[in-house]
C-alpha cells in the first residue's frame, strides 16, 4: 500500500498533474511552477464552457447564478477560479451574499475594453454609491470568453 501511495505521488509529480486552484504564492520551486503552468494550459484547452463574446458569457453566468445552478455559474470562470467560486456561491447562498451579487449583476453596466483579450464590465449602484467590476478574458485555445474576477 505504501508503495502504491508513493508511486502515485511520483506519477503525479512526473506527469505534472496539479491542483490549479492552489494559490500560486504557495509554489516554492521552478519545477512546481512548471507543473502548475502545464496543468493550467491543459485545463484551458479542455475548457469549452463560454461564448464567443464577453456579453454572452456574462449573461449566461448571470442566468445560471440566478437559477441557482452554481456549478454552471462557476464553470464560466477561468479553470483556476472555478473551485473557489463554487465554494463561494455555496457559502453565499446561506449568508445572502448570492442574492446581493445577483442584484449587482443586473445593474446597468459599461463595457471597458482593456485589451484584445481582456474586458471589464463596470456597474454602479447610484442609490448606495457602490461600484462593481467584472473582468473577463478571451481563451484563445477555444475561442471563448471566461470570467476572471468579480
- The residue ranges of every structural domain in the chain are 2-46, 54-149
Q: State the cell numbers at 64.
A: 445560471
| pLDDT of 7 above 60 | no
Cα separation, 145 vs 117, in Å, equals: 8
Give the pLDDT mean for 77-102: 92
11 C-beta neighbours (distance < 10 Å), count: 10
Enter the C-alpha cell of residue 98: 448570492
Over residues 123-132, the mean pLDDT reads 84
pLDDT tens digits, one per residue of 94-113:
999 999 889 889 988 899 99
Structurally, at CATH architecture level, domain 54-149 sits in Roll (3.10)
> What does pTM read for this prediction?
0.75
User: Tens of pLDDT along 28-74?
Assistant: 788 877 887 777 778 777 888 889 999 999 999 999 999 999 999 99
**CA geometry: angle at 11 spanning 8 and 17, to 5°?**
105
CA dist 122 and 108 (Å) reads: 9
Amino acid at each position: 500500500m505504501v508503495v502504491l501511495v508513493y508511486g502515485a505521488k511520483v506519477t503525479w509529480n512526473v506527469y505534472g498533474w496539479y491542483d490549479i486552484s492552489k494559490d500560486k504564492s504557495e509554489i516554492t520551486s521552478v519545477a512546481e511552477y512548471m507543473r502548475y503552468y502545464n496543468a493550467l494550459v491543459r485545463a484551458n484547452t479542455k475548457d469549452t464552457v463560454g461564448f464567443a463574446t464577453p456579453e454572452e458569457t456574462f449573461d449566461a453566468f448571470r442566468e445560471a447564478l440566478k437559477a441557482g445552478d452554481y456549478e454552471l455559474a462557476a464553470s464560466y470562470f477561468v479553470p483556476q477560479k472555478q473551485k473557489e467560486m463554487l465554494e463561494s456561491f455555496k457559502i453565499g447562498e446561506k449568508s445572502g451574499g448570492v442574492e446581493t451579487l445577483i442584484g449587482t449583476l443586473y445593474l446597468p453596466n459599461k463595457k471597458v475594453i482593456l485589451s484584445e483579450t481582456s474586458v471589464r464590465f463596470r456597474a454602479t449602484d447610484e442609490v448606495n454609491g457602490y461600484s462593481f467590476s467584472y473582468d473577463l478574458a478571451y481563451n484563445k485555445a477555444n475561442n471563448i470568453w471566461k470570467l476572471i474576477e468579480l
